[in-house]
Homo-oligomer: A and B are copies of this chain.
Amino acid sequence: MSIPLAEEASRLDLGADLKTAMRRLAGSVAIVTSRDADGLPHGMAASAVMPVSMEPPSMLVAVNRSAGLHAVLQLSRRYCINLLADDQHALLEPFSQSVLRAQRFHSGPWRDAWSEQAAPLPWLEGAGAVIECIVDDAVDYGSHTLFIGRVTDVRVDQAPVDRHPPLVWLAGRRTRLDLQSS
């Protein structure tokens, strides 16, 4: 398909403008994990994570089709969302860079990562919340797939949120919360 030049240029501009706009969107960061057919753990850092509905309890994760986790999720149909606490920010590096893949589940207090059983997914001790899901629907759109997951298990950090705040990402970097004056 040939796209008229003016139309393509305007589409490229919109993409650049949307990236700039997204630097105004603050949000939590999660590590989404799953397990492949051989039982090996997989995971990636993701900010495109949100609740869908409470009836049924459900979450959504947007995953790029070029990401290693994409093929794993399509097969396993299960994922675990680990909402990072601010003091876990060092985990982002191994879970964002493919050259550091081998270090991923050796960095941080991962539980059940190397389990002999197929059942439990890798989950992170000390995360703000850990939410396990079964994929109910997968919607392809553009470069990404939206994996809608029905929640099957939830663990929440027992420390108060102002004592153990979440990792917040804004404009491409970690941003601390001012929890005193709020």
Contact surface of A with B, Cβ cutoff 8 Å:
11, 14-15, 17-28, 48-60, 62, 64, 83, 128-129, 131, 136-137, 139, 141-144, 146, 148, 151-154, 156-157, 161, 165-166, 168, 170-171, 173-179, 181-182
> Chain B residue with minimal CB distance to A27?
B27
A156: which B residues are within 8 A, CB to CB? 17, 20-21, 24
Q: Once the chains bind, are A54 and B18 in contact (CB under 8 Å)?
A: yes
A78 and B106 CA atoms in complex are apart in Å by 46
> Chain B residue with minimal CB distance to A19?
B54
Contacting A50 at CB < 8 Å: which of B50, B131, B154?
B50
Q: Once the chains bind, are B15 and A55 in contact (CB under 8 Å)?
A: yes
A181: which B residues are within 8 A, CB to CB? 176
23 contacts between A and B (CB under 8 A): A11-B56, A14-B153, A15-B56, A18-B51, A18-B54, A19-B54, A21-B131, A21-B154, A22-B129, A24-B128, A24-B156, A25-B49, A26-B27, A48-B51, A52-B146, A54-B143, A60-B60, A60-B62, A60-B146, A136-B141, A161-B171, A173-B182, A176-B177
A137: which B residues are within 8 A, CB to CB? 139, 141
Q: How far is the CB of A130 from chain B (nearest CB, A)?
A: 8
Q: By DSSP majority rule, is chain A's interface helix, strand, loop, or mixed?
A: strand
Q: Once the chains bind, are B141 and A58 in contact (CB under 8 Å)?
A: yes
A38 and B148 CA atoms in complex are apart in Å by 34
